[in-house]
Amino acid sequence: MKALVIEDNKATLQLICEQIRTIGITPIAAETAANGLDLFQSERPDLILLDIIMPDLEGCEVARQIRQLETSGDWTPIFFMLPLSKDKDKDIEMSIAAGGDDFLLKPISEVVLSTKIRAMQRTIQMRQYLLALTRKLDSANQELKRLTSLDGLTGIANRRHFGEVLLREWRRAMRQGEELSIVMCDIDFFKLYNESYGPQSGDERLCQLAQTLTGTMDRGGDLLARYGGEEFVAVLPGTTLNGARFVAEQMRQAISQLAIAHPGTPFAHLTASFGVASAVAMPETDPQDIVAAAELALLKAKNEGRNRVCETSSLDPQDN
């Protein structure tokens, strides 16, 4: 542990440094306020003993500058050393207001100094423990948040996280006047695949398909999520209807090229159908409107024979 002692009287400075050394603390001596501020930045002491009366800069101003130099979350205890005078109560009030944490009256008693420093050491240790505990809790909360946003089977975003991202991107699109697109995907005849090959094989295929769909998305702001069962959904911020249709077609081809055998379908392998919707977010519309439009486009793709991409640019279901 290091203690910075800022005291312009050489004899007092030497005495205090010796007292500190006897209790196992390394002293760092500074005879001027300017030197003390420099040493604070270079040495980063654990504790500061500061004379309230300094020739080049008042002790209260030194304390204020020290507090400004501390980075977020840092705290260095400051003991003000005060003269025993009729104004000591005022000096105590000023020193605490300036950022001080405790005070010592001159001439400083070695017993009082040792006692106060040891008490402050316990405070420092408790604070360090609480900070470490807070970091662990923050890390655990972040991990919990990450886990609750992921689909337990495929490892991609879940429907809940999709809803959060959609709302955030919808509001951003509204502010910026940008277009936003949604791609809905349904794996064709997947229930029949599960019946033919078993649920374990079906789960393995869903994981494979999720990774395949993710691989077709190369923009950082895009999100793929599992919407439910064998359905997936993608949020494409700042993307036009033509751009979203291109992405959906890339997804459709990527799944088809896997050539996963599925003899129970007209295509003899796993395929997927896609519905695409796009709109400019407006105050009178709701993000669920674009989801409903994409679902209608997906239904159209399935009704027209599956393994295809259908689209809509309208958020009014009556227009489809």
**Which residues participate in catalysis according to the annotation?**
230
CB atoms within 10 A of CB 203: 13
* Conformational region of residue 259, where left means phi above 0, alpha means psi within -120 to 50, and beta covers everything else: left
Closest CA to 251 of 265, 266, 232: 232
- Asked whether 83 and 92 are in contact (CB, 8 A), the reply is no
Taking the C-alpha atoms of residue 94 and residue 78, their distance in angstroms, rounded to an integer, is 13
Judge whether 240 and 171 are in contact, CB under 8 Å.
Answer: no
> What is the rounded distance in angstroms from the CA atom of residue 77 to the CA atom of residue 58?
18
Identify which of 314, 272, 297, 293 has the alpha carbon closest to the alpha carbon of residue 166.
293
Q: If DSSP codes are grouped into helix, strand and coil, which group holds residue 4?
A: strand
Q: What is the DSSP string of 131-170?
A: HHHHHHHHHHHHHHHHHHTB-TTTSSB-HHHHHHHHHHHH
Residue with tokens 């408790």: 126
**Backbone phi, psi, residue 283, to 5°:** -60, -30
Q: Is 30 helix (H, G, I), strand (E, B) or coil?
A: strand
Question: Mind giving me the DSSP string for 221-274?
Answer: T-EEEEEETTEEEEEEET--HHHHHHHHHHHHHHHHHH--B-TTSTTSB--EEE
